[in-house]
């Protein structure tokens, strides 16, 4: 059985007009997937629309409490890691710098399997900016995360294959 997301009370699906889930089984190990998720410098290689990830506190990897900024699909976003259990789960919450009323909470659960792992990502979004974007393309967030999972899996599998070559 897979674990559930630990939502902050203010960002639960029942309180959020936008909520979506995506999942994928990959042949990559939880350790490789984790290494990619906590390394924002790797994100542009698999995270659709991500550019210029910065860790203002000088960290080189995400950990509990780490704040980061990025340009995501044309929006400058500021977020903070709210949950972090190595190789198992990570979640961050934040929103666009231009619209403090718009917030999001994005969580990941990584479950080991005999030949890889199961990836579950779930997000809730609130506020006028996200609602307007969803009106323009109702399934855009879900489709973007489907691509995110596929690309993350491909990069992780490739990383492992490269590491095994003599």
Backbone angles phi, psi at 23, to 5 degrees: -145, 160
44 C-beta neighbours (distance < 10 Å), count: 14
For residue 10, is it within any domain?
no
22-38: average pLDDT: 98
Question: What is the reported pLDDT for 1?
Answer: 44
pTM for this predicted structure: 0.93
Q: For the residues 134-150, what does the mean pLDDT come to?
A: 93
**Cα 12 versus chain centre, distance:** 17
Integer distance in angstroms from the first to the last C-alpha of the chain? 37
Q: Does residue 57 lie in a domain region?
A: yes
In a domain, 73, yes or no: yes
Q: Is residue 8 part of a domain?
A: no
CA distance 41 to 43: 6
Q: What percent of the chain has pLDDT over 70?
A: 97
In a domain, 2, yes or no: no
Q: Is residue 4 part of a domain?
A: no
- Which of the two residues, 146 and 41, has the higher pLDDT score? 146
Q: Does residue 118 form part of some domain?
A: yes
Residue 71 lies in a domain: yes
- Structural domains in the chain (count): 1
CATH number at residue 125: 3.30.530.20
Range of the domain at 22: 16-164
What DSSP string runs through 18-75?
A: EEEEEEEEESS-HHHHHHHHT-GGGGGGTSTTEEEEE-TT--SS--TT-EEEEEETTE
Q: What pLDDT is attached to residue 153?
A: 98
DSSP state, residue 134: H
Length of the chain: 166
pLDDT of residue 2: 58
Percent of the chain with pLDDT over 90: 80
Residue 138 has pLDDT above 70, yes or no: yes
How does pLDDT run across 49-108, given as a tens digit for each residue? 888 888 876 778 999 999 999 988 778 999 999 999 999 999 999 999 999 999 999 999
């Amino acid at each position: 059985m897979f674990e559930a997301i630990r939502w902050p009370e203010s960002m639960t699906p029942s309180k959020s007009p936008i909520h979506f889930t995506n999942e994928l089984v990959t042949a990559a190990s939880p350790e490789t997937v984790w290494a990619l998720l906590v390394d924002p410098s790797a994100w542009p290689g698999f995270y659709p629309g991500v550019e210029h990830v910065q860790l203002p506190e000088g960290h080189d990897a995400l950990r509990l409490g780490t704040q980061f900024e990025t340009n995501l699909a044309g929006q400058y976003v500021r977020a903070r890691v709210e949950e972090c259990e190595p190789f198992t789960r990570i979640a961050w919450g934040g929103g666009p710098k231009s619209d403090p009323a718009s917030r999001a909470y994005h969580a990941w659960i990584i479950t080991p399997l005999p030949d890889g792992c199961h990836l579950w990502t779930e997000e809730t979004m609130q506020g006028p900016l996200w609602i307007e974007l969803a009106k323009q393309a109702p399934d855009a967030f879900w489709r973007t995360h489907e691509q995110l999972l596929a690309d993350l899996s491909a990069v992780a599998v490739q990383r492992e294959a490269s590491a095994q070559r003599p």
